[in-house]
A = this chain, B = another copy of it.
């Protein structure tokens, strides 16, 4: 079993479960249940939950505890817009140090993506898609920016859980390969453009502005069922 994990390990386990949609947005995260599951006191769990709350992965309401964050439509737009602004900007920085080894590493990752797609392993697919983006960002020589991008990628996974269509994740799976090709061929501007349009495409695949989520018209919904 999970005997005696340290705080960091607990953090990663919970984060992974959230990113992979095993714990969906809105899910309660009761301290004592988690405390029991990890074999640690509530104190340690609280610490982890507070960290996740600051990273906007979970929300903590006073006296109501922690829930997996359910991003609002506005939050979703802001996060995607930020990524559309930032990730293309980092491409030139990344290409300054782009090497054969890098290319090989990312191509291997894309093989895993294909594999996950073939296995219909949705969890792995979501995780790998995010990983592709933030490991790329990590190759820039600016870890401050890279950390921020990583956070945005994790939060994007929540967005997909709430607003994503079936296609949101899978349809761009072959696409990532195109970027690596462009980078191998030193096509700076094209790579930058590609990244921008890739993210715009993801944003437009989200079901934003379709409904207000809460305001469901039950009358209409169950109109002709009898």
A interface residues with partner B (beta carbon < 8 Å): 47, 50-51, 54-55, 75, 78-79, 81-82, 85-86, 89, 141-145, 148, 152
Contacts and interface: CB of A to CB of B under 8 A. Distances in A.
A225 to B, nearest CB: 41
B78 A143 contact: yes
Contacts of A85: 89, 145
Contacts of A144: 75, 78-79, 82, 152
A51 to B, nearest CB: 6
Question: Secondary structure of the A side of the interface?
Answer: helix
A51 B49 CA distance: 12
A143 B71 CA distance: 13
Contact of A51 (B50, B82, B142): B50
Contacts of A152: 144
Nearest to A47: B50
Contacts of A89: 85
Contacts of A51: 50, 54
Nearest to A74: B143
A145 B47 contact: no
A53 to B, nearest CB: 9
B82 A145 contact: yes
Contacts of A82: 142, 144-145
Contacts of A145: 78, 82, 85
Nearest to A155: B144
A118 B143 CA distance: 38
Nearest to A56: B144
A62 to B, nearest CB: 10
A55 B51 CA distance: 10
A79 B89 CA distance: 15
Q: Which 3 A-B pairs have the closest CB atoms?
A: A78-B144, A78-B142, A82-B144
Max count, chain B CB within 10 A of own CB: residue among A55, A82, A144, A148: A144
A81 B50 CA distance: 29
Contacts of A50: 47, 50-51
A78 B75 CA distance: 26
Contacts of A148: 148
